[in-house]
Copies of this chain bind each other. A is one copy, B any other.
Amino acid sequence: MGRNVGEILARPCALWPRKPALVDQGRTWSEVQEHVERDAGALRELGLGLGERVAVISRNSARYFELYFSIPRAGGVIVPLNHRLAKPELEYCMKDSGSVMLLADREHLDLASEISNSVVCIDDWDTSTASAPPAVEVSEDELFGIFYTGGTTGQPKGVMLSHRNICEGAINVVIAMGYREDDIYLHAGPMFHLADGCGSFATTWLGASHVFIPGFSPEVLLDAVESHGVTSMTLVPTMYAMLLESPEFSTDRLKSLRRVFYSASPMPPGLLERVLDAFDCEIGQGYGMTETSARLTALSPEEHQRFSSPGATNLERARLASAGRPIVGTEVRIVDEHGEICPPGEVGEIVARGPNVMMGYWGMDSTNVLRDGWMHTGDLAFTDDEGYVFIVDRSKDMIISGGENVYSVEVESALYSHPDVLEAAVIGVADPKWGERVHAVVVLRDGAATTEDALMNHCRAQIAGYKIPRSFEFRDSLPKSGAGKTLKRELRLNVMSEQ
């Protein structure tokens, strides 16, 4: 008998029915269970059929947490949408997934109504008269959810994750992150993203409690940590930088924290040092991607402590810039173009295998990334001789800015659609606040005189705000390889030498 996301919730409901589950709501696990059953019943009453997709567009909330359980409980498949996407992108996700309804919070209600004709406002949704639907039997290999991520094709790709994917991903995180039954977990990052999801499922399985903030700001986060005694959370490096810069910040306000994580990218060394100083708790890092139900490698708090201690060797200190090592529960390798394992020091592609690897992309051929069960991440890396993974490049041309993935090809497509743009190349450049900044190198057509501002406005209508280039460079031509491919590495080197 296989795994089902329902079993994750069943454990705390059976063992701690009266324990506060969603702390800021004062809601116990037994009440969560009731809500989930009722919401599932209401979804069925709305006509939801087995296997049909239900999209969600919402900021973080207790109800969002419950939807991750009530939609599958009703036999549906959840499609969490990135609320920061632009309308055409959201329209694409709705249409591509074939979602039959869209659950939206009040803030996104108008937008939701523009992209779906079957919208439910979850802030006003009273399901108290609904009753629990009949039990739904699904095998562990059936679809749990579709998670859209930016794609190299310029369109978001729907990552299909099964019940087993989610469960195994959660178990991997329980082990790698060392969450505990008595944790109070803050949903600091956006809940549509599996970086929060894997921590959420992991902590739920353990019976930990949850706190939600609608979105990140230093002030809101500090208040939440302080008033609810938060013990654990995962932030992207940018959020740490913003926290430390906030006038409201003081180490004392974070004294309930036991263990915090950063993900999406290694922390710039200067920032990590400041964080280790300012946070009086354990600090760990996780690396992964939606396609692998999140985590693949981790750098543990013990390693952070050891490698940042005065006695650490240079080699050890350098490991603070790594993504750590492969975690228990999934196989991770660095391989060359023939699939052979690279010796330490040699750059290859990160590939991963295991029950955490996605079923494939929804409605798309995935054979180019899923080969013999190995997920080809597109990230280039090498290991040192103790297996620490150093990511050197993302062959997918992905920029991680403030924790959000930006695929350069999406931004380039937006730029190319401007009549004055002859050529465009988008790269990530180091940025003290955002980790990486989206930077565009543009060649205009002869005689054109478009400005940065005009190009930014042009992009704004097509892609999410965080994807819009924050800096521009106009050139007469782009450096090319013999085969005519734009040499982005050269562009990156140029930018670095100018900084």
Footprint of B on A, CB under 8 Å? 1-3, 7, 10-11, 14-16, 171, 174-175, 205-206, 325-326, 328-329, 331, 333, 353-355, 357, 372-374, 386-387
| Residues in B neighbouring A2, C-beta threshold 8 A | 355
Given contact pairs A7-B354, A16-B386, A174-B175, enumerate 4 new A-B contacts (beta carbons under 8 Å): A1-B373, A14-B387, A16-B387, A171-B328
Of listed A11, A16, A373, residue having the most chain B CB within 10 A: A11
Interchain CB contact under 8 A, B328 and A3: no
Q: Pick from B11, B333, B355, B386: contact of A3, CB below 8 A.
A: B355
Interchain CB contact under 8 A, A354 and B1: yes
If A171-B171, A374-B1 touch, whether A15 touches B386 (CB-CB below 8 Å) is yes
Interchain CB contact under 8 A, A15 and B355: no
Interchain CB contact under 8 A, A354 and B3: yes
> Can you list 6 pairs linking A and B with CB atoms under 8 Å apart?
A1-B355, A1-B373, A7-B331, A15-B387, A16-B386, A171-B171
Interchain CB contact under 8 A, A11 and B174: no
Closest to A174 in B: B175
Interchain CB contact under 8 A, B328 and A205: yes
| Residues in B neighbouring A206, C-beta threshold 8 A | 328
Interchain CB contact under 8 A, A328 and B1: no
| Residues in B neighbouring A3, C-beta threshold 8 A | 354-355
Q: How many monomers of this protein are in the complex? A: 2
Interchain CB contact under 8 A, B205 and A1: no
Measured between C-beta atoms, what is the minimum distance from A337 to chain B in Å?
Answer: 20
| Residues in B neighbouring A1, C-beta threshold 8 A | 353-355, 357, 372-374
Measured between C-beta atoms, what is the minimum distance from A84 to chain B in Å?
Answer: 33
Of listed A206, A333, A374, A386, residue having the most chain B CB within 10 A: A386
| Residues in B neighbouring A353, C-beta threshold 8 A | 1
Whole-angstrom distance between the alpha carbons of A326 and B15 in the complex?
A: 8
Measured between C-beta atoms, what is the minimum distance from A200 to chain B in Å?
Answer: 14
- Closest A-B pairs by Cβ, 4 of them: A1-B373, A15-B387, A1-B353, A205-B328
Measured between C-beta atoms, what is the minimum distance from A45 to chain B in Å?
Answer: 27
| Residues in B neighbouring A11, C-beta threshold 8 A | 326, 328, 331
Measured between C-beta atoms, what is the minimum distance from A371 to chain B in Å?
Answer: 10
Whole-angstrom distance between the alpha carbons of A372 and B372 in the complex?
A: 32
| Residues in B neighbouring A15, C-beta threshold 8 A | 325-326, 386-387
| Residues in B neighbouring A14, C-beta threshold 8 A | 326, 333, 387
Of listed A3, A328, A355, A374, residue having the most chain B CB within 10 A: A328
| Residues in B neighbouring A373, C-beta threshold 8 A | 1
| Residues in B neighbouring A328, C-beta threshold 8 A | 11, 171, 174, 205-206
Interchain CB contact under 8 A, B171 and A329: yes
Measured between C-beta atoms, what is the minimum distance from A336 to chain B in Å?
Answer: 16
Whole-angstrom distance between the alpha carbons of A354 and B357 in the complex?
A: 20
Measured between C-beta atoms, what is the minimum distance from A307 to chain B in Å?
Answer: 15
Q: Pick from B10, B325, B354, B387: contact of A331, CB below 8 A.
A: B10
Whole-angstrom distance between the alpha carbons of A373 and B3 in the complex?
A: 11
Whole-angstrom distance between the alpha carbons of A372 and B1 in the complex?
A: 8
Whole-angstrom distance between the alpha carbons of A466 and B478 in the complex?
A: 81
Measured between C-beta atoms, what is the minimum distance from A370 to chain B in Å?
Answer: 9
Measured between C-beta atoms, what is the minimum distance from A128 to chain B in Å?
Answer: 25
Measured between C-beta atoms, what is the minimum distance from A448 to chain B in Å?
Answer: 51
